[in-house]
Amino acid sequence: KNLLTGGERPKGLLYKLSVGLCNMHVSGALVSIFSIMIFAQLTAVTCTDELNLGAICGSGIVGILAGAAGISKAGTALWIACDVGQWPVLHNLVRLIRKVDQVSGNKITDLIRGMGSDDGGNSTFGRRLHESLEEESPRVAELKAKYDSPADVWKDLGF
């Protein structure tokens, strides 16, 4: 039952999606908590003068739990992308947004591209994918001058 209204819970698209998203968040929190436990146990092994087999064993068991929580999170994400994301309602919504974007001269695309950026909408969210050859760093230019090919780099490294 719905805790707020006392009535039956809805079982439609939004309900299923909210349950899936909730599972992803809970699973993600469990992965984080288990990871902290693993590092704490391994700290007990590496920061002491004697071998602590209990901590090693415990970190392995908690590692399995962290892995299971990670699989739960990834499985739910796959379900959302491959099942919920393929429902006709969502496909029609995406088609509608694409048409509005085309009619508006790509205003929606420009808005999404420029979210949170101060660079006139050329943001790649902190990544350097948009750098051109003219913006090449001095370090890259130095390496290109020193080596003719990637094979030369590997040869210089001893391979």
What is the rounded distance in angstroms from the CA atom of residue 4 to the CA atom of residue 101? 38
Cα dihedral sign for 15, 16, 18, 22?
positive
CA geometry: angle 128, 131, 132, nearest 5 deg: 160
Residue 59 scores a pLDDT above 80: yes
Predicted pLDDT of residue 58: 94
Is pTM, for the whole model, over 0.75? Answer: no
Average pLDDT, the chain: 82
- Per-residue pLDDT tens over the stretch 18-48: 889 999 999 999 999 999 999 999 998 888 8
Matching residue, tokens 């009619």: 103
